[in-house]
Amino acid sequence: MRLIEDSQIKALLERVHTVAVVGYSDKADRPSNQIATFLEQVGFDVYRVNPTLASDGKSGKRIYASLAEIPVPIDVVDIFRRPENVPEIVQEAIAVHAKAIWMQLGIINEEAARSADSAGLDVVMDRCMRVESKRLLHKVA
């Protein structure tokens, strides 16, 4: 279901625990890095995904090459990729039985949203998970 009402997004944020950040960057100034760090700080279990940065975690946080490599069920797939890359990520999310797709600010792909919705995943599009979490749950600056 497409989640657009504050109450729907708040309910999603309250019931999820694991977040896969797809398109994660290891550069501290990149939004994917900052948001992954924030989500961990407020209690989410965060799994970083970027096939070009995949690592075993020995030098810091583990970065996975794909959603399929993550060893736990994923609640939300938080996408930091160009809109044209989203359908492939949605298919991967469906394959691993994720519960929701979250497309960050500026990321809109109606086709992918319909695919996710048809597969029973909740969909949030063109919103920032950190902003919505702060606004609806954590009430922090």
Digit-coded pLDDT (tens) for 74-124? 999 999 999 999 999 999 999 999 999 999 999 999 999 999 999 999 999
Pick from 108, 100, 137: which is nearest to 1 by CA? 100
Give start and end residues of each alpha helix (H) in 43-122.
86-95, 110-118
Neighbouring residues of 139: CB distance < 8 A, sequence distance ≥ 6: none
Taking a C-beta distance cutoff of 8 angstroms, is the pair 96, 69 a contact? no
Q: Which domains does the chain have, with CATH numbers?
A: 6-138 (3.40.50.720)
Cβ–Cβ under 8 Å, residues 78 and 45: no
Least reliable range by pLDDT among 34-43, 56-65, 117-126, 127-136: 56-65
